[in-house]
Structure 1
Amino acid sequence: MALEQALTWSNLRFILDGLWVTLEVAIVSIILSFVIGGIFGVIRYLKIPVISVGVGIIIDIIRNLPLLLIIFFTYFALPQIGIQFSIFWSAVIALTIFESAMLSEIIRGGLLAVPKGQLEAGISTGLTKIQTIYYIVLPQGLKLMVPPLVSQFVSLIRDTSLAVIISLPELTHNTKIIYAEYPNTVLPMFLIMALLYFIICYSLSYFSKRFEVNYAK
């Protein structure tokens, strides 16, 4: 009976609606955090006076804050100073802030893993530092960055569930509503939710491994 209640078309559609919101938030956050994290990572790698130190301090502060606190800040605190976002964008901004700090360190570490001689060789040919990083250092460091980057992206997907605290209608939120209305569907709902998260995260990990194999050839 519990399984029948859990697998009704209306419930499944509601869960899939939540899954779509989860994917939307995750995709937008991944793109934004990768771009911002990449910029911060390169700035720290270049060791630009004052700027690199300032960026490093900001990153260290963010990395040592709970993501839940950042979500609360974007949704509840910012409106107090006249800055207000929708639930969707509050979640995206919070995840982007947190993940950008994490990704910047991964990207910086990948760049540092490339021998310094590569940077010096590129500059000696007449390329600027930025051009050398883009054309020579980054392609070599990317192979080393892929596993930790994917791991962080998987964490980001899982972390979207924390936005349930501000009532973002994502997968966890919608599943919670169903089993709150039908208490005997708690177990089936948790199994369905776990299966969907597993499919998404495993698929991302699988394609990243395929990318590594092809990139290595």
Structure 2
Amino acid sequence: MQNLIDAYSWVNISYLLKGLWVTIEVSIIAVILSFVIGSIFGVIRYNNIPVVSKVVGFIIDVIRNLPLLLIIFFTYFGLPNFGIHMSIMTSAVSALTIFESMMIAEIVRAGIVGVPLGQTEGALANGMTRSQAMWHIILPQAYKKMIPPLVSQFISLIKDTSLATIIVLPELMYHAQIIYGQNNNYIIPMFIAVAIMYFIVNYALSLVGRWFDKKLK
């Protein structure tokens, strides 16, 4: 019992919270960037633009089938060989953004496919260009259908930040490792604390997603 009390001392909890903040910070930046890039790639792939769509599709397929850990390694250890040097934080955000963007691109493409073709035809018949129809008619409807898979992908992204421990990103899991590295009796308590923190953040995100889903129906 004493080990449990010591493990959950305010010093340790506050240290974990600092790591949690880094996790949230990295996640927010990566979510925003991956959503924007993924949307662009998804639209390009859907529109079948000569050559461009095939190149984008190839990039999406390649990255989606690579381990995220490999991408993290490459951004931090590989890119310096090409003269590109990034901080740990920037490397983690870049790797997560690259990987998640390709996942979201497929979600966006599938969402657009799910919108009835008549919506596009109606917009074109009313004098809209294809770009205007996509922006004002198709995407708003598609995004409504995408909310559940997008939220699931964003939750995966938050959990995937723990992989950045390998490049010593000071996020939640890394801070937990520092704490139980000082005392092996803290291993289980730290795992429990980390699990609770991840659950709170991800469950809160899922609730927000459900609220948006109901609000937009």
Bin the TM-score by the shorter chain.
over 0.9
Aligned residue for 1:169, secondary structure, equals coil
The whole-number CA distance in structure 1 between the counterparts of 2:175 and 2:119 is 51
The whole-number CA distance in structure 1 between the counterparts of 2:85 and 2:7 is 36
The CA deviation at 1:182 is 1.3
Name the counterpart of 2:154: 153
Deviations along 1:98-145, one digit per CA (max 9) or x if unpaired, are 000000000010001001111111112111111111111111111210
Name the counterpart of 2:103: 102
The whole-number CA distance in structure 1 between the counterparts of 2:124 and 2:45 is 18
The CA deviation at 1:188 is 0.8
Name the counterpart of 2:17: 16
Deviations along 1:8-33, one digit per CA (max 9) or x if unpaired, are 22111110110000001000000000
Which ranges in structure 1 are unaligned for 5 or more consecutive residues? none
Name the counterpart of 1:5: 6
**For residues 13-52 of structure 1, what are the structure 2 equivalents within 5 Å?**
13-52=14-53
Name the counterpart of 1:138: 139
The CA deviation at 1:207 is 1.1
Name the counterpart of 1:87: 88
The whole-number CA distance in structure 2 between the counterparts of 1:126 and 1:166 is 53
The CA deviation at 1:46 is 1.0
Superposed CA RMSD in Å reads: 0.7
The whole-number CA distance in structure 1 between the counterparts of 2:112 and 2:177 is 42
Which ranges in structure 2 are unaligned for 5 or more consecutive residues? none
Deviations along 1:23-45, one digit per CA (max 9) or x if unpaired, are 01000000000000000001011
The whole-number CA distance in structure 1 between the counterparts of 2:142 and 2:60 is 21
Name the counterpart of 1:166: 167
The answer to which of 67-76 and 131-140 deviates more is: 131-140
Deviations along 1:178-211, one digit per CA (max 9) or x if unpaired, are 0010111111111100000000111111111111
Number of positions where the alignment pairs a residue of Structure 1 with one of Structure 2:
216
Could you tell me which amino acid in structure 2 is paired with residue 17 of structure 1?
K
The whole-number CA distance in structure 2 between the counterparts of 1:134 and 1:81 is 37
- After TM superposition, what 4+ stretches of structure 1 lie above 3 angstroms from structure 2? none
The whole-number CA distance in structure 1 between the counterparts of 2:17 and 2:176 is 10
Identity %: 56
The whole-number CA distance in structure 2 between the counterparts of 1:50 and 1:124 is 28
The answer to which of 91-100 and 141-150 deviates more is: 141-150
**For residues 194-213 of structure 1, what are the structure 2 equivalents within 5 Å?**
194-213=195-214
Aligned residue for 2:216, secondary structure, equals helix
The whole-number CA distance in structure 2 between the counterparts of 1:171 and 1:130 is 42
